[in-house]
Structure 1
Amino acid sequence: MFAYRHAFHAGNHADVLKHLVLVQLLQHLGQKDKGFRVIDTHAGAGAYSLRTEAANKKLEWLDGIGRLWERTDLPPGVAAYLDQVEVFNGPGVLKNVPGSPSLIRQMLRPQDELHAFEMHPTDLRALEKLMAGTKGVKVHLSDGFAGLNALLPPPTRRGLVLIDPPYEMKTDYGRVLSTVREALAKFPDAVIAVWIPQVQLLDAQQLPQRLRNAVKGVAKKGWLDASLSVVAPQDGGFGLLGSHMFVANPPHTLHTLLATELAWLAEVLGQHPGAKGQLSAGS
């Protein structure tokens, strides 16, 4: 149950797409004075050193954020994400990368709040230590799928839900779908961002379309599906080829930004000639 550790994958190409979109959503919510609530259903440890044995076992970050860190031609969305990483890491050599809860905490205002769920005991302790004393942040030792609905809708009726399970169990795919349906039934205005791996597994390949069908006519501002495919399929069907970020009720500015930046990311992060970024949207 607790086999997955994000420390082995922090800063990889999937993190780049996920955190780029997350930063854009947080920036959009922060444009209004009224506070908002962020719920991170699978928060992880919150911070990752790139000097650890885990990070250096496969060196996935070198083909993710490592390809972006020292570039001077970053487009606006990628630059905004890298700015937040630099706030966390400091200027100079890249040594540490933030997990989603750290990025969220950096962008919260006094009137905003974060609820972070984590069940892995080691990651939970690290996250609690990292977030200790931060006003407006609460760490939950609980299943984020099960705990989400009790926090919806927030009193301000403004909220962002990040759902990014490890998908190490096939049941995660079905739970993502049911959780999104239930969340929108309680809070149709919720901005819900779902990370989906691109792997050679039918459940993973079907989930984006199943989510589109589930939110159609329910999410008041429609949906957006951004995908980044950077690794060629391998013999045996193993490996992470890329990822999706599916967003229910996306801000209108997100489509315009990703329409140009996904192609740039595919070129910079691509590991084979067929690398590509794709964007779909609907109501």
Structure 2
Amino acid sequence: MKKVLLPTDFSDNAMNSIVFALEFFKYDNCEFYFLHVYEDEVYNTHKLSESKSFDELKLMSSKKSSKNLESLLEKVSTIAPHKRFSYNIISAYNSLLDEANKVVIEKNIDLIVMGTKGEGANHAYAFGSNTLQVLKYVSCPVLVIPEAYEYTQPKKVLFPTNFLIPYKRRELKLLYTMLKPFRSIIDVIYIAKYSNLSRRQVDNKEFLKGEFEDLQINFVNADDKDISGAISNYIEAHNIDLLVMVNTSHSYLEDMLFRSKVDDISLHTNIPFLALQNIRRTS
């Protein structure tokens, strides 16, 4: 059974990602955890309020959070009343980052699914700040759903990799079970000036191939110095439905997420994005 964590702020954007997850996993046995944190809400309200004490505001936010989660639970139970699904709600006075890490460890979560705001007029931002923090610091695969994205079966999947890191079998199994019902085609793209691989890269490539033996997997080489540009161009040219990247040391995604400050990130995508192998960071 897959365990899926769905953070929510009760916005349309968050609801869209929830609906996507319910549709995406309709063939699976899943345990969903809907999480709402309200620490920021309490602090922000306290700045504006002169008539209520901090403890009063905290209690009010707690009741409001629980009530909204109960309403959400009723809604999703109507949308997806599958016997294969079970639902849980978590309300916490905490930051999203700390509570997500806590739940991931305590509940042995397989995947986090969350929405992200659109880029709007400022094209320097690829992800919202909350999504970015989860991508960077929570030790769990994260599936990001663009704002207002309408569910589409992941028939075509792009997996950029440099083959430098050993993949985690648990996460490749997760990806395989996610894609198998749709008979997805996976394009694995290696972006480098030279196509020759080291012994380590060859071994990692063969391991990757073996984990998806029942699915069609194509290996593609691309000579391009601009990794994010090459990925974006491939997505557009080949009608890709899902982008999958590994986030660990010496990976393409690590370079994009950690090489500079938030507003310098250059990866922009209008399709769902799955980050695998997130590892705990200290900076």
When normalised by structure 2's length, the TM-score is 0.32
Higher-Rg structure is 2
| TM-score, length basis structure 1 | 0.32
